[in-house]
A and B are shown apart, each in its own frame.
Chain A
Amino acid sequence: MSSSVAHRILPESSEQEIFSYSGAVSASIVGATGESLRVRLAALNVESHRARKIFSSFVEMAYNIIHHGEPEGARDVKIVRCGSIAVWQKGQRYHLRSRSLISAVNAPPIEQRLAALRELTPEQIRFEFRLRLTNLQYSDDASPTGGAGLGLLTIARNAVEPIEFELAPVPSHDGRLQLTLHTVVQ
């Protein structure tokens, strides 16, 4: 991932900030921020097919923070996951970037999946999505909350560029890593 995106804080002059959120992420926060994003996209007259893709990727990224994120703070305290999501426009493209903490144990498989996704063409992503759906018919995987790998595929499917990602050590967080995802919708 280019450092300008991974470490972007303020919009460049050529960019329009659309939405950003940073803090605790729960289902109700996903609902509230998602609706705010929809209202903002409507106010900016973003075409409906683009707005749907932006909203879809936003929800997948937000739930990804909840389902795969590591809690902020002490591990023995039950608190909600924290993270941030920013949405901005540059030219005709809409950028979404999420950040959250993940455990050192979870990092390698996520990194592997994201790296593999980057190698796929749009047609291969669609094929992989259908293949995974078909395989679910024969799977006993009863993970209560996950999308069986469909979440990252959905983000990739909505995107016009391969998903960029960065895993950066966070020294003050007990070996946990900060995962940054950046996707572009058009």
Chain B
Amino acid sequence: MERLTLPATQFTPLVDFDYASRAFLMEGESYPENAAEFYGPILSALRAYASRPQSGKTTVTLRFAYVNSSSTRSLQQLLTLLDGAARDGANIEVRWLVEIDDDAMAELGVDLLGDKRSLSYEIVNAP
């Protein structure tokens, strides 16, 4: 699959899905007017990736400064998709990075990841 990269904008995060190294990154702010429109192609790419046999660990790093409610909904879909892939045998680790004093973002990480039974995840303070 061809590497998926999207630059960060005022409303949307940087996206870098490096399939060769199995390192996926989303970083920045997420509050587009239409989150489903922005996350739709990202979900499609992940769906295609998850449908292929994987060897080795895939690391998904999520580092958000702000996420609005409709983006939260899309991230739930994204993480549910990854949880399903992990349940089917893929080795996936999600790293949810938060600024040290950003309790709200840490709590959102728990909200989104706490019920994912098959994913390996960690919520990490990052400078």
Contact = CB atoms under 8 A, between A and B. Distances in A.
B102 interface: yes
B102 to A, nearest CB: 7
A130 B101 CA distance: 22
A27 to B, nearest CB: 4
A143 B37 CA distance: 11
B111 interface: yes
Interface string A133-158: 11011000011111110110110001
A137 B101 contact: no
B70 interface: yes
Interface string B100-126: 011110000001101100000000000
Contact of B80 (A137, A145, A158): A137
B21 interface: no
Contacts of A89: none
Contact of A66 (B10, B33, B66, B111): B33
A136 B104 contact: no
Contact of B111 (A133, A146, A158): A133
A159 to B, nearest CB: 13
A143 B114 CA distance: 25
A147 B34 contact: no
Give the interface centre of A49, A66, A142 by most chain B CB atoms within 10 Å: A49
